[in-house]
């Protein structure tokens, strides 16, 4: 039997964080740095958020994840003071900030655009906020030098923004926010304009900076891979409501709702039925742990799909396509009654496999949801 492969692309970013997740209970015992309480903000279009509540602990990186229009940026901008909520409260370090304008809040925001002054050098761009705060010249010099080392651009202080790449400009924008020493750093899809390789590098650097500084961060993205790779916890949002708040591993392995299952990582969906107290799809039977009844949707990760060239107990299928993707292969299989499903398989295990071959499919793990 050809076994499904573990630890593929969507799961790779999660695995490096297992140490952080093991310490999650420790983090939860720390003080709450940011508390969003029953926050509501609705626009005339009907979009916005309703009764959003979220606590972020000191030193935690929490990501608001969801498609455009789900409300994640509304929450972020409300925290930063750029939007006035219809109702609810926002507490930072135990004090309400609702009546404070953005510049008076202990927050700093990194936007999608870099917002650097093109006529100023990097040093002057970074020093500007410190000068307004009347920081001494010697201290400004030291703080700017230190933060440029932190974002790995120690020699950039005399350059102008136009002389920097997009990735370098985003580092400077991040450095500018770090200099303000915010209680909560807010990041609004800061890497969306960068290419895939740069985005990956910037995620790693952000995590390292966060580990070094112990900063509390709230990060907004629509990119689920980005959320899985950098977050301590993910808040999955849908139409202005929270669907699930959990660690990346928990959300990947145990999505609470069909929406989360559809949104996070690659997933196969098959229609099944509850019969004799078990969830069934074809001849395959699985425990009915949620005590569902009637028709159900079964969600199966591609790495949990097992293939065999024999084994009449499985679902019969025909191999449609085999794509070798580095250390694993993605195999598309046509199941006559259920459509196409995808399986992640070890690369060496598909050497003898060809399009048109008959295979039998079974699953290591399924998640059942009530049929909507």
DSSP string over 130-160: HHHTT--HHHHHHHHHHHHHHTT-TT-TTS-
User: What is the model's pLDDT at position 135?
Assistant: 85
User: What is the model's pLDDT at position 29?
Assistant: 54
User: What is the model's pLDDT at position 69?
Assistant: 86
Q: Decide: 190 and 169 in contact? Cβ < 8 Å.
A: no
Q: Helix 196-213 to helix 166-179 angle, to the nearest 10 degrees?
A: 20
User: What is the model's pLDDT at position 22?
Assistant: 44
User: What is the model's pLDDT at position 194?
Assistant: 79
Domains of the chain: 10-260 (3.40.50.300), 266-370 (2.40.50.100)
User: What is the model's pLDDT at position 213?
Assistant: 87
Tokens of 172: 């400077």
User: What is the model's pLDDT at position 212?
Assistant: 85
pLDDT (tens, 9 = 90+) of the chain, 372 residues, equals 334 333 444 444 554 444 444 444 444 557 999 999 999 999 988 889 999 999 999 999 999 999 988 999 999 999 999 999 999 999 999 999 999 999 889 999 988 777 888 898 999 999 888 888 888 888 889 999 988 988 888 888 899 988 988 888 888 888 888 888 899 999 998 888 778 888 888 888 888 888 888 999 999 999 898 999 999 999 999 999 999 999 999 999 999 999 999 989 899 999 999 988 899 998 899 999 898 989 999 999 999 999 988 766 789 999 999 998 888 899 999 999 899 999 999 988 888 888 999 999 999 999 999 987
Q: Decide: 300 and 255 in contact? Cβ < 8 Å.
A: no
User: What is the model's pLDDT at position 28?
Assistant: 53
**Helices within the chain (DSSP H only):** 9-15, 18-22, 24-28, 72-80, 122-132, 137-150, 166-179, 196-213, 224-230, 248-253, 258-263
CA angle 183, 186, 192 (to 5 degrees): 155
User: What is the model's pLDDT at position 325?
Assistant: 86
Q: How far apart are CA 118 and CA 28, in angstroms?
A: 42
């Amino acid at each position: 039997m050809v076994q499904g492969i573990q630890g593929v692309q969507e799961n790779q970013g999660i695995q490096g964080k297992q140490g952080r997740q093991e310490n999650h209970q420790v983090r939860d015992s720390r003080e709450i740095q940011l508390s969003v309480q029953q926050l509501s903000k609705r626009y005339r279009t009907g979009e916005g958020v309703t009764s959003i509540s979220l606590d972020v602990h000191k030193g935690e990186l929490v990501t608001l994840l969801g498609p455009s229009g789900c409300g994640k940026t509304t929450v972020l901008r409300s925290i930063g003071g750029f939007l006035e909520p219809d109702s609810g409260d926002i507490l930072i370090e135990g004090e309400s900030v609702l009546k404070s304008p953005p510049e008076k809040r202990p927050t700093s925001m990194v936007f999608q655009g870099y917002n650097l002054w093109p006529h100023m050098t990097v040093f002057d761009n970074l020093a500007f906020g410190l000068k307004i705060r009347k920081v001494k010249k010697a201290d400004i010099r030291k703080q700017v030098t230190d933060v440029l080392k932190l974002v790995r651009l120690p020699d950039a202080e005399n350059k102008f923004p136009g002389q920097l790449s997009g990735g370098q400009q985003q580092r400077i924008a991040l450095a500018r926010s770090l200099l303000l020493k915010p209680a909560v750093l807010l990041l609004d899809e800061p890497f969306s304009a960068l290419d895939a390789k740069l985005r990956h590098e910037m995620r790693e650097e952000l995590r390292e900076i966060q580990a070094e500084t112990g900063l509390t961060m709230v990060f907004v993205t629509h990119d689920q891979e980005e959320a899985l790779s950098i977050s301590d916890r993910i808040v999955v949002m849908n139409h202005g409501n929270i669907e699930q708040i959990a660690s990346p591993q928990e959300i990947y392995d145990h999505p609470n709702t069909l929406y989360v299952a559809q949104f996070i990582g690659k997933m196969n969906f098959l229609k099944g039925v509850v019969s004799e107290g078990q969830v069934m799809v074809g001849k395959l039977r699985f425990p009915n742990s949620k005590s569902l009844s009637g028709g159900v949707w079964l969600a199966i990760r591609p790495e949990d799909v097992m293939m065999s060239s024999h084994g009449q107990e499985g679902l019969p299928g025909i191999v449609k396509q085999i794509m070798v993707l580095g250390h694993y292969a993605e195999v598309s299989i046509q199941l006559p009654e259920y459509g196409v499903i995808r399986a992640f398989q070890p690369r060496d295990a598909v050497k003898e496999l060809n399009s048109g071959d008959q295979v039998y499919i079974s699953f290591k793990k399924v998640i059942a949801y009530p049929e909507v």
